Amino acid sequence: MNITIRKAVYSDIDKICDIESGGNALRNRQQFIEELKLNFATLVVIENGEDILGYAVFWRVADEIQLNNIGIKPECRRQGLGTLLLTHIMNNSYSPDFRPGKIILEVSSSNIPAVQFYKKNGFIEAGRRKNYYKNSDAILMERGIG
């Protein structure tokens, strides 16, 4: 495998939407296009050659990174690609005018694989929003950077 991570471009959107539709479908095509336009947002893809295997969306807010979504093709899950994306985000989000102290996210308490994934990658539960989703709580998680 020749795995690379790079910033997404408009021509990646259809492949990203295909991955998104195989998961919990939190975003649609137009929302991904809007993410590419925001100066505080970053959309990255992880690929093997020209095959996009997954993506991540995050925002730079104050002194934090807000991870909005990670999506991996179903047949490529549990191969370490999500961890590679997280590591890339934490190691490559610095700039002279942005020094994040932590990465934060929100995940549904019913999404057990995602909760386990984030815990495995050093995130801790920082709070809960009771009944935030139709049948579950929102778990607020965070992890220090640096």
Question: Which helix (H) or strand (E) element contains residue 19?
Answer: helix 13-21
Question: How large is the average pLDDT for residues 95-102?
Answer: 75
What is the pTM assigned to this prediction?
0.88
Q: What is the CATH number of the domain that holds 98?
A: 3.40.630.30
Whether 25 has a pLDDT exceeding 60, the answer reads no
CA angle 130–135–139, rounded 5-degree value: 40
Distance linking the first and last C-alpha atoms of the chain = 29
Q: Which domain holds residue 34?
A: 3-144
* DSSP per-residue codes, 79-125: SSHHHHHHHHHHHH--BTTB--SEEEEEEETT-HHHHHHHHHTT-EE
Report, as an integer, the average pLDDT of 139-145: 94
pLDDT digits (tens, 9 = 90+) for 57-80: 999 888 899 999 999 999 999 999
Task: Count Cβ atoms within 10 A of the Cβ of residue 130 and give its class: 0-12 exposed, 13-18 middle, 19 or more buried.
Answer: exposed
Domain count, the chain: 1
